[in-house]
């Protein structure tokens, strides 16, 4: 991540809910400085996913290691008349000195499993709550939605077209990164291309075509001005006529030693239209020209189009990806599970969670495929044929080792995803992946038993 906090500048420390600071002041006033452990996990909700993808760790660590209160921020806090001089003096020297244990970015996980545990003096761990939830929630949400698209596309190309309807600039950037992390091929987001090294893709808008007197002039002009990346939008007027017009331009490009890259259909019955367009292109000996489909697509429409064997090569996924339309939020929470060596849990109905510092063990079968997860106590022995998923990322406020770059995370996810059986990936009526609680952790919840 380049330039942490660049969108917020020196005010990044104020990217925080007020109650984190009022609680922190109270902790300080009452001498509460013992270590606390907070656990980050996702509760099941009415709309569910059969699996989730952990994303956002690299950016979060950058923010945490750079986190501090500048003088301008402290002056603002003082002006609110909510904080005393003792607390403001404490914030002046604030830095994170604790430990973060987390899953690797790109790891598949399931409900109620801790994906991260933060252990630090309670003020430090509390102050980071808002930042952690905000950065991990959105990226995990989008990565999971995008992974479902990757599964549905069955190795067909995917491009992120979500920028224009994302909920702000930052969300658009994170959507591009998160979707590429799980297997999307390209993005239309030029800034994301520069920032993250994601390959770019783009076509043309209907406005370009309609600005010319006729369609063929628009196509010819665009091909002349973009000879190495000519993608023609053929549904401004009539898709069949547009496809035939595109073949004329495609043959003209061949005569110049160039190639028409693709045509895009953005509306209509994609099942029938893609077949007609493929026939027209092939009949003109333009078999190499790809068909791109876009317009209100997500994993459900992609799956249906693939199931019907439509000759579509690339899917452009926009709004429904960028806002995760069918599931716009996760019930992600950051809960205190241990303070001053005392295990803690909430017991109110519907909001229960597991107390104590934890570890997640992934049990593999004989072929090294995912077989079962066990939520256990943080220092219990790993069960046979299992790997612990929570690794120390930050220790005593310092990064343990350099975090992997986006390409490495992408490869890790691809490998991880391949070990999850397809019955757990189904878009509807997927099997429930087995997640159990270890006996040792169960005893910790009921110490009198």
List, edge to edge, every strand of the sheet that includes 386-388.
386-388, 358-364, 370-377, 435-437
User: Which pairing describes strands 116-121 and 186-187: parallel, antiparallel, or unpaired?
Assistant: unpaired
pLDDT band at 81 (very low <50, low <70, confident <90, very high): very high
What pLDDT score does 341 carry?
A: 94
pLDDT at position 274 over 80: yes
User: What's the CA gap between 367 and 322, in Å, rounded?
Assistant: 36
What pTM was estimated for this model as a whole?
Answer: 0.94
Residue 390 in 3-state DSSP? coil
What pLDDT score does 448 carry?
A: 60
What pLDDT score does 447 carry?
A: 64
Query: Can you tell me the mean pLDDT for 101-113?
Result: 98
Q: Which range has the worst mean pLDDT, 349-358, 362-371, 380-389, 405-414?
A: 349-358
In sequence order, the β-bridge partners of residue 121 are 35
CA distances, 40 to each of 231, 253, 303, 334 (Å): 44, 55, 32, 4
Query: Can you tell me the mean pLDDT for 198-209?
Result: 95
pLDDT at position 2 over 50: no
Average pLDDT value for the chain:
95
Per residue in 162-200, pLDDT (tens digit) is 999 999 999 999 999 999 999 999 999 999 999 999 999
Per residue in 387-411, pLDDT (tens digit) is 999 999 999 999 999 999 999 999 9
Per residue in 287-328, pLDDT (tens digit) is 999 999 999 999 999 999 999 999 999 999 999 999 999 999
pLDDT band at 280 (very low <50, low <70, confident <90, very high): very high
Q: What is the DSSP string of 292-349?
A: EE-SS--HHHHHHHHHTT----EEEE-HHHHTTTT----EEEEEEEEETTEE----ST
User: What's the CA gap between 142 and 167, in Å, rounded?
Assistant: 12
pLDDT at position 224 over 50: yes
């Amino acid at each position: 991540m380049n330039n942490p906090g660049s969108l917020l500048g020196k005010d990044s420390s104020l990217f925080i809910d007020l109650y984190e600071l009022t609680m922190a002041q109270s902790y300080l006033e009452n001498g509460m400085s013992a270590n606390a452990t907070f656990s980050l996990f996702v509760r099941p909700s009415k709309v569910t996913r059969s699996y989730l993808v952990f994303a956002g760790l690299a950016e979060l660590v950058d923010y945490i290691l750079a986190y501090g209160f500048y003088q301008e921020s402290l002056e603002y806090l003082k002006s609110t008349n909510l904080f005393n001089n003792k607390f403001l003096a404490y914030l002046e020297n604030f830095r994170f000195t604790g430990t973060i244990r987390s899953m690797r970015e790109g790891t598949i996980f399931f409900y109620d499993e801790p994906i991260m545990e933060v252990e630090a003096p309670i003020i430090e761990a509390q102050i980071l709550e808002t930042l952690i939830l905000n950065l991990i929630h959105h990226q995990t949400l989008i990565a999971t939605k995008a992974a479902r698209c990757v599964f549905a596309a069955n190795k067909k190309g995917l491009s992120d077209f979500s920028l224009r309807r994302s909920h702000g600039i930052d969300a658009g950037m994170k959507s591009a990164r998160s979707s590429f992390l799980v297997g999307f091929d390209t993005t239309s987001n030029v800034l994301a291309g520069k920032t993250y090294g994601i390959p770019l893709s783009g076509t043309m808008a209907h406005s370009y075509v309609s600005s010319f007197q006729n369609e063929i002039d628009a196509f010819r002009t665009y091909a002349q001005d973009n000879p190495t990346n000519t993608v023609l939008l053929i549904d401004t007027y009539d898709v069949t006529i547009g496809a035939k017009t595109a073949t004329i331009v495609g043959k003209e490009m061949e005569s110049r030693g160039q190639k028409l890259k693709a045509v895009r259909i953005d509306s209509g019955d994609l099942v029938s239209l893609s077949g007609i367009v493929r026939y027209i292109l092939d009949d003109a000996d333009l078999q190499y020209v790809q068909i791109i489909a876009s317009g209100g697509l997500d994993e459900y429409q992609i799956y249906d189009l693939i199931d019907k064997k439509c000759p579509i090569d690339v899917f452009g996924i926009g709004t429904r990806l960028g806002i995760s339309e069918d599931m716009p939020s996760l019930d992600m929470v950051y809960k205190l599970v241990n303070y001053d060596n005392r295990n803690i849990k909430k017991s109110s109905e519907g909001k229960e969670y597991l107390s104590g510092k934890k570890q997640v063990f992934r049990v593999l079968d004989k072929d090294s495929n995912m077989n079962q997860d066990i939520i256990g106590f943080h220092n219990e022995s790993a069960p046979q044929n299992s790997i612990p998923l929570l690794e120390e990322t930050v220790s005593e406020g310092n990064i343990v080792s350099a975090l992997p770059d986006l390409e490495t995370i992408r490869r890790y996810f691809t490998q991880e995803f391949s070990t999850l059986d397809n019955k757990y990936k189904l878009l509807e009526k997927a099997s429930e992946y087995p997640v159990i609680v270890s006996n040792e952790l169960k005893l910790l919840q009921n110490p009198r038993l």
